[in-house]
């Protein structure tokens, strides 16, 4: 109850709102006249209005503080950094897109749905052969479809393993790697987790992009699995910021 | 009414030493959004002190305030293409700065420490009076003004950052209630309540001054 009363006491009354609006120049002409009349009729209103005006006079002595550094130079340098980084990632994305285009035909061939279509076609041809020739049992066409599905599963499994391997590396080896700031992949390419990934896919290099790090650990992988960027939190500049050195695999997201 | 306010803001800008430019702000914003750095530099120099004042009133650490001010202007530049011009540039940059400061405050644990101990400089001594308090002429008046400035700063420090922010936006930047509501992201009623509470508190704290 007391709290409620205290809250109500902090709420401006109608008259106080009116006074506030008048001294802050927010009132209409009519509101100003109403307050003028009220303050003439009631000394308490007049006194309260004077209090508000006094506070405003005190506050009018405040002036903006001045930035002590050449802010524009710093802002411009940071904008340059951001634009360079964006351009770098943009060029990289363009290269990856070109590579994707070049290999789209190969990918198309290994597309599981195409395999599925081919399997359906083969099955249809098999059924037609059986109908017109009365020879082969239906189990053979099922086998063709089954083989096609297993090829697709194998591809999917390989992709999953690679992604899982990276997730394991980030979650297991990420902490140690992050502590060794500014080190490149070369410094820890022979670590066990990296060797495991390289065994899975020998063409898979790693990069740690410290400049772009923003608190999330993630990897961007191009369609050929030829390039991976891991963004890692830089924690040293601001001790209040949490340091994300060891990633939860849930934070690892494949953007491609 | 609006013109009067703009003139007031312009006067504040001149008093604070920032360069007043002839080119309309809208044109500058358009040029800046197309990558014109010179146009953006004019905008930064025009608003840097006021944005900084708002931030420093909320975080109380000048270094942190400078960092946040810098990042606010960087973020604003990179987002200029998304600026639709529904509001004026200055309320927009204030909003960016205000939100970044609130985020910073949420991340940092300094708030409770600050509120418990009051404003202190880095070496632990009491913070000096505000740099920006006007002084002129009579030495006696200047002493009184310095005393007032010190008391005002102490009283302001006892307010929460939300209350300090609305006071700064209102009294230093001359924003209207609706503009403050836009910047802070609350209703006009809430803005009025905060201003009312803050002024009532300041009135009590400064009652010894004429």
Q: State the complex-level ipTM.
A: 0.70
Compute the distance between CA of residue B186 and CA of residue A131 in angstroms, rounded to an integer: 76
Mutation pick from A14, A18, A27, A67 vs chain B, by most beta carbons of B within 10 Å, is A67
A52 at interface of B, judged by CB pairs closer than 8 A: yes
> Which residue in chain A has the smallest CA separation from B148?
A58
For B160-195, b where at least 16 C-beta lie within 10 A, e where not — what string?
ebbbbbbbbbbbbbbbbbebbbbbbeeeeebbbbbb
Q: Does residue A207 sit in helix, strand or coil?
A: strand
pLDDT of residue B186: 93
pLDDT of residue B61: 86
Mutation pick from B41, B50, B63, B74 vs chain A, by most beta carbons of A within 10 Å, is B74
Average pLDDT over residues B187-199: 93
> Which residue in chain B has the smallest CA separation from A65?
B53
* Position B37 pLDDT exceeds 70: yes
Cβ neighbours of B77 in A, within 8 Å: 75, 79
pLDDT digits (tens, 9 = 90+) for A10-24: 677 888 889 999 999
Domain boundaries, chain A: 2-59, 76-251
Compute the distance between CA of residue A195 and CA of residue A171 in angstroms, rounded to an integer: 15
Average pLDDT over residues A85-102: 63
- At B148, the pLDDT band (50, 70, 90 cuts) reads confident
A61/B145 Cβ within 8 A: yes
Closest CA to A194 of A232, A224, A160, A228: A228
- At A94, the pLDDT band (50, 70, 90 cuts) reads low
Q: For residue B114, give Cα distances in angstroms to B65, B74, B147, B158, B160.
A: 15, 28, 22, 9, 10
Q: Least CB-CB distance to A82: which of B74, B192, B195? A: B74
pLDDT digits (tens, 9 = 90+) for A50-59: 988 999 988 8
* Position B45 pLDDT exceeds 50: yes
For residue A197, the surrounding DSSP H or E stretch is helix A192-200
3-state secondary structure chain B: CHHHHHHHHHHHHHHCCCCCCCCCHHHHHHHHHCCCHHHHHHHHHHHHHHHHHHHHHHHCCHHHHHHHHHHHHHHHHHHHHHCCCCCCHHHHHHHHHHHHHHHHHHHCCHHHHHHHHCCECCCCCECCCCCCCCCCCCHHHHHHHHHHHHHHHHHHHHCCHHHHHHHHHHHHCCCCHHHHHHHHCCCHHHHHHHHHHHHHHHHHHCCCCC
**Contact (Cβ atoms closer than 8 angstroms) between residue B42 and residue B19:** yes
Compute the distance between CA of residue B163 and CA of residue B205 in angstroms, rounded to an integer: 15
DSSP β-ladder status, A206-208 and A219-221: unpaired
pLDDT of residue B142: 75
pLDDT digits (tens, 9 = 90+) for B67-96: 999 999 999 999 888 887 778 899 999 999
Question: Is residue B172 one of the residues assigned to a domain?
Answer: yes
Cβ neighbours of A11 in B, within 8 Å: 193, 196
For residue A206, the surrounding DSSP H or E stretch is strand A206-208
A68 at interface of B, judged by CB pairs closer than 8 A: yes
Question: Is residue B84 one of the residues assigned to a domain?
Answer: yes
Compute the distance between CA of residue B134 and CA of residue B143 in angstroms, rounded to an integer: 12
Q: Which range has highest mean pLDDT (A206-215, A223-232, B35-44)?
A: B35-44
A54 at interface of B, judged by CB pairs closer than 8 A: yes
The label of the residue with tokens 């009067």 reads: B4
Mean pLDDT, rounded, of chain B: 79
Q: Least CB-CB distance to B78: which of A11, A59, A82? A: A82
pLDDT of residue B98: 94
pLDDT digits (tens, 9 = 90+) for A184-213: 444 445 555 555 555 555 554 444 454 554
Domain that includes residue B157, residue range: 2-205
Q: Least CB-CB distance to B49: which of A20, A24, A67? A: A67
Average pLDDT over residues A227-250: 44
Question: Is residue B210 one of the residues assigned to a domain?
Answer: no
Token pair for B104: 């910073």
C-beta atoms surrounding B145 within 10 Å: 19
Mutation pick from A24, A53, A55, A69 vs chain B, by most beta carbons of B within 10 Å, is A55
A75/B152 Cβ within 8 A: no
For residue B196, give how far its alpha carbon lies from the nearest alpha carbon of chain A (Å). 7
Q: How many CB pairs under 8 A join A and B?
A: 129
Q: For residue A73, give Cα distances in angstroms to A42, A66, A79, B30, B33.
A: 57, 16, 10, 21, 19
User: Residue A249 carries which DSSP code?
Assistant: G
C-beta atoms surrounding A37 within 10 Å: 11
Cβ neighbours of A55 in B, within 8 Å: 199, 202-203, 206
pTM higher than the cut 0.80 = no
Query: Chain centroid to CA A4: how far?
Result: 42
For residue A20, give how far its alpha carbon lies from the nearest alpha carbon of chain B (Å). 7
Average pLDDT over residues B119-130: 40
Cβ neighbours of B108 in A, within 8 Å: 240
* Position A35 pLDDT exceeds 50: yes
pLDDT of residue A104: 61
| Total domain count, chain B | 1
- At B43, the pLDDT band (50, 70, 90 cuts) reads very high
CATH number of the CATH domain containing B72: 1.10.1740.10
Q: For residue B13, give Cα distances in angstroms to A112, A124, B95, B192.
A: 66, 81, 19, 25
For residue B156, give how far its alpha carbon lies from the nearest alpha carbon of chain A (Å). 10
Cβ neighbours of A17 in B, within 8 Å: 192, 196
């Amino acid at each position: 109850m007391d709290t409620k009363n205290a809250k109500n006491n902090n709420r401006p009354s109608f008259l106080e709102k009116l006074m506030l609006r008048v001294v802050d120049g927010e009132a209409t002409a009519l509101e100003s006249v109403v307050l003028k009349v009220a303050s003439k009729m009631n000394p308490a209103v007049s006194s309260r209005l004077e209090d508000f005006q006094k506070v405003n006079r005190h506050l009018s002595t405040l002036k903006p503080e001045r930035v002590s550094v050449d802010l524009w130079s710093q802002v411009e340098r940071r904008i340059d950094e951001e634009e360079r980084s964006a351009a770098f990632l943009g060029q990289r994305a363009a290269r990856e897109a070109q590579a994707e285009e070049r290999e789209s035909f190969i990918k198309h061939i290994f597309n599981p749905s195409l395999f599925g279509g081919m399997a359906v076609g083969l099955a249809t041809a098999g059924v037609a052969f059986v109908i017109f020739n009365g020879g082969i049992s239906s189990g053979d066409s099922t086998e063709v479809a089954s083989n096609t599905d297993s090829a697709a599963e194998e591809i999917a499994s390989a992709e999953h393993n690679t992604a899982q391997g990276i997730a394991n590396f980030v979650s297991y080896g990420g902490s140690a790697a992050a502590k060794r700031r500014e080190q490149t992949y070369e410094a820890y390419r022979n670590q066990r987790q990296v060797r495991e990934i390289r065994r899975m896919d020998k063409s898979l290099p790693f990069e740690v992009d410290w400049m772009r790090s923003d608190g999330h650990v993630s990897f961007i992988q191009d369609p050929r699995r030829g390039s991976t960027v891991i963004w890692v939190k830089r924690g040293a500049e601001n001790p209040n910021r949490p340091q994300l050195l060891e990633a939860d695999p849930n934070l690892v997201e494949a953007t491609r | 009414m609006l013109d009067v306010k703009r003139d007031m803001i312009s006067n504040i800008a001149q008093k604070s030493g920032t360069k007043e430019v002839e080119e309309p702000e809208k044109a500058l914003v358009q040029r800046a959004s197309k990558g014109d750095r010179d146009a953006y530099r004019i905008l930064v120099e025009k608003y840097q002190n006021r944005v900084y004042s708002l931030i420093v009133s909320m975080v109380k650490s000048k270094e942190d305030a400078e960092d946040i001010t810098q990042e606010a202007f960087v973020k604003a530049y990179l987002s200029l293409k998304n600026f639709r011009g529904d509001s004026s540039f200055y309320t927009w940059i204030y909003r960016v700065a205000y939100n970044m400061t609130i985020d910073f405050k949420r991340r940092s644990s300094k708030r409770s420490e600050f509120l418990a101990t009051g404003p202190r400089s880095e070496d632990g001594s009491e913070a000096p009076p505000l740099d920006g308090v006007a002084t002129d002429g009579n030495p006696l008046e200047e002493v009184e003004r310095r005393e007032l400035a010190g008391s005002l700063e102490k009283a302001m420090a006892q307010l929460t950052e939300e209350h300090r922010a609305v006071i700064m936006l209102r009294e230093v930047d001359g924003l209207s209630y609706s503009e403050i509501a836009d910047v802070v992201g609350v209703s006009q009623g809430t803005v009025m309540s905060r201003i009312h509470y803050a002024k009532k508190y300041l009135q009590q704290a400064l009652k010894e001054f004429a």
